[in-house]
Chains A and B, each alone.
Chain A
Amino acid sequence: MTRAEAFSDREVAMCAVAKIVEDGRTYWAAGGGTPLYSILLGKRLYAPELQYVTEDGVIAPEPLLPYEPMMTMVASRATRRALSWGTMNSAGIHAQLGYMDYGVLNTLQVDQHGNINSTIIGDYGPNTRRFGGPGGADTIAACCWRTILITDQEKRKFVRQVDFISSPGYLDGTAGARERAGLPKDTGPWRVVTPWAMYDFHERRLRLIGRMPWVTVEEILAECEWKPLIADEVAVLEAPTEEEVLLLRTELDVRGQTTDAAGAWITWDGEKYVRAG
């Protein structure tokens, strides 16, 4: 593996997810974009026997890359050479049955208990700014054994309580809260990944466990409106490799729609990483 010399915040998050995927497991990607690219990156470089499923019930396709703009589901290039073509209900039902090991999804906001908001910002009502809604993420977060959340490291995104629970984390954080709400046992958010940091959950509370080499724990905490728990040892995470960013840029996100969407650039100056902006 070669160190990448320059990459964007958004690329960091996808490369970080790619490094934690588990071989031989099933992954359900929420929509296209970051979750799907992270999974494909992990499968190509680290976990060849990982299989993934998309919201339209496609099982283990061999997509013809790159995708055409927006065409990450239903379209023939996205669903090519799958083992099975299904429907949204087949994907949802397979998850209800327990076949989906991991779910990967994006969230606008995440709170101390890993609840996921992709619906609104502010108070719910007629004048609220609306976003897309849960899409498939509600079923992913409810039924996959483990869920990986991707978001940006920004103060307004790490809050005590999300404005709206679109998809369930550990709800109020008490033991058994998910089961009391009718959700399957032994499920829930497992990791939260940002361009700066990685979190797990300790007794259903968000805990900082890793940081990128170019940020300090203090800098990360400054970008959390609600402070997470902090692990005894916060690991220094591996920065993106040349192989990862090459694959992202030349095959997965060739138009830069996902990777260039947000954040600053990080460069290696020969001795250390420098984040501009």
Chain B
Amino acid sequence: MTLATSPAGSVEIIAAGQGKFHPVDPDGFRAYIRDHKSRALKSKLMTEKEAVERFVADGDYLSYECNYLMRGPNAVIHEVIRQRKKDLWLAGKFTYVDICLLVGAGCASKVDCGFFLSPKPVLRAIAEGKLEVFEYSNVIMTLRLQAGAMGVPFLPVRSFGGTHGFDYSGARLIRDPYTGVPITIVPALNPDVALIHVHQADIYGNARVFGTGISDVESALASKKVIISAEEIIDTEEIRSNPGLTRIPYYAVDAVVEAPFGSYPGTVPGYYASNPEGVFEIFRATGGDAVEPYIEKYVDSVENHLDMLDKRVGVKKLLDMKQREVIREGYHA
């Protein structure tokens, strides 16, 4: 092997953020995939209770896709709260109220910030030392997931350098060995578990998402354990009839949960609009420091997601959400 010379000689680290970051271990991740992820086409259909019992552990790094208002995996997030999982490290990207809900329930002790609202329960947890925050941005978080989904330890990025977030993150500024120009690198993110709500999935986990999203595919591939909740369980023959629509392949998925109206009170585009009353209610609960009564009403006092829809929402509201979704183009519904 001949040693190549680069304009900058060896790779120089110019600056390093001081933030704790979820450990980077691509070979460890590969070994996990080898040993724990089934390649067989076997049914992974289960209740949200079983999925969370089996695949969310205390201390896990947890990434959920979209947010409570927009195709969020709310049925599964509620179950995580119901089981009072502890010490979770959350990917706080493109999200408004979910962080407050999980922190208010005592489920989380760390969060990487892209964007989330910080009403009183969050500020209190930080002040009391119960919640540590590390600073990134939305795209930096999804690019970290992209690196995790590529099986590489880090990714060079063209933003984030020069910010104070950089100082409280796991980012590094290096001299690019190819051009000699400074470039920021961010650590790959391989969450322990991802929660993703999709439009359709088969029992094996082949999943279809219609419309836009944040980082569904990246999260699914980057995470050790993946829980898919789906509005509809469809036949595998239907998947095979239009393979181009499969966004997430079955072998990345550990659990498939059937969760119609699984994003209530939020929207699943093409299927149902949000319920504005429910949206205001969650903002009032988190913003008004009333997370506990909200959790009591929507999580603890009901058995599961379907029980919640039945007792707390009702058919009338659900049909109204369906009727108010007037756009069908692009959703294959």
A residues touching B (Cβ–Cβ < 8 Å)?
Answer: 31, 55-58, 64, 68-71, 73-77, 79-81, 85-89, 91-92, 96, 119, 124, 126-127, 129-139, 141-143, 164-168, 171, 177-184
Instruction: Provide the bound-state CA to CA distance between A77 and B272, in Å.
Output: 11
What distance in Å separates the Cβ of B199 from its nearest Cβ neighbour in chain A?
Answer: 12
Verify B182–A179 contact, CB threshold 8 A. Answer: yes
Verify A135–B211 contact, CB threshold 8 A. Answer: no
Contacts of A132 in B (CB 8 A): 115-118
Verify B161–A183 contact, CB threshold 8 A. Answer: yes
What distance in Å separates the Cβ of A267 from its nearest Cβ neighbour in chain B?
Answer: 32
The yes or no answer to B276 lying at the interface (CB within 8 A) is yes
Contacts of A135 in B (CB 8 A): 94, 114-115, 137-138
Known: A182-B182, A183-B158. A76 touches B116 (CB 8 A): no
- Residues 247-294 (chain B) with a chain A CB within 8 angstroms: 267, 269-270, 273-274, 276, 279-280
Nearest residue (CB) in B for A91 is B139
Known: A132-B116, A165-B163, A166-B163. A69 touches B280 (CB 8 A): yes
Those 5 A-B pairs whose CB atoms lie nearest each other, nearest first: A181-B162, A142-B159, A135-B115, A182-B161, A138-B137
Contacts of A86 in B (CB 8 A): 212
Verify B162–A89 contact, CB threshold 8 A. Answer: no
Verify A69–B182 contact, CB threshold 8 A. Answer: no
Verify B138–A139 contact, CB threshold 8 A. Answer: yes
Verify B158–A96 contact, CB threshold 8 A. Answer: yes
The yes or no answer to B140 lying at the interface (CB within 8 A) is yes
Contacts of A166 in B (CB 8 A): 137, 163-165
Known: A68-B276, A133-B137. A85 touches B126 (CB 8 A): no
Known: A87-B214, A135-B137. A184 touches B71 (CB 8 A): no
The yes or no answer to B127 lying at the interface (CB within 8 A) is yes
User: Which of B66, B211, B273 has most chain A Cβ within 10 Å?
Assistant: B211
Verify A74–B183 contact, CB threshold 8 A. Answer: no
Contacts of B133 in A (CB 8 A): 130
> Can you pick out 30 interface pairs between chain A and chain B where the beta carbons lie within 8 Å of each other?
A55-B138, A56-B214, A57-B212, A69-B279, A70-B69, A75-B70, A79-B269, A85-B211, A86-B212, A87-B213, A88-B94, A88-B138, A92-B142, A96-B159, A119-B135, A130-B118, A132-B116, A133-B92, A133-B114, A134-B137, A135-B114, A135-B137, A135-B138, A136-B137, A137-B137, A143-B159, A165-B165, A167-B137, A179-B182, A184-B158
Verify B327–A179 contact, CB threshold 8 A. Answer: no
Contacts of A180 in B (CB 8 A): 182
What distance in Å separates the Cβ of B331 from its nearest Cβ neighbour in chain A?
Answer: 7
Instruction: Provide the bound-state CA to CA distance between A166 and B331, in Å.
Output: 36
Point out the residue from B165, B181, B215, B327 that lies within 8 Å of A119, measured CB to CB. B165
Verify A133–B327 contact, CB threshold 8 A. Answer: no
Instruction: Provide the bound-state CA to CA distance between A77 and B273, in Å.
Output: 9
Nearest residue (CB) in B for A56 is B212
The yes or no answer to B45 lying at the interface (CB within 8 A) is no
Point out the residue from A57, A76, A183 that lies within 8 Å of B269, measured CB to CB. A76
Apart from the given pairs A137-B137, A168-B163, 11 other A-B contacts in the complex at a CB distance below 8 Å: A68-B276, A74-B211, A76-B211, A76-B270, A85-B212, A87-B216, A92-B159, A119-B164, A133-B115, A177-B162, A183-B159
Verify A134–B215 contact, CB threshold 8 A. Answer: no
What distance in Å separates the Cβ of B19 from its nearest Cβ neighbour in chain A?
Answer: 12
Contacts of B122 in A (CB 8 A): 130
What distance in Å separates the Cβ of A170 from its nearest Cβ neighbour in chain B?
Answer: 9
The yes or no answer to B29 lying at the interface (CB within 8 A) is no
Instruction: Provide the bound-state CA to CA distance between A183 and B122, in Å.
Output: 32
Instruction: Provide the bound-state CA to CA distance between A180 and B200, in Å.
Output: 46
Contacts of B135 in A (CB 8 A): 119, 133
Instruction: Provide the bound-state CA to CA distance between A138 and B169, in Å.
Output: 14
What distance in Å separates the Cβ of B89 from its nearest Cβ neighbour in chain A?
Answer: 16
Instruction: Provide the bound-state CA to CA distance between A183 and B158, in Å.
Output: 5
Instruction: Provide the bound-state CA to CA distance between A89 and B114, in Å.
Output: 13
User: Which of A81, A139, A166 has most chain B Cβ within 10 Å?
Assistant: A139
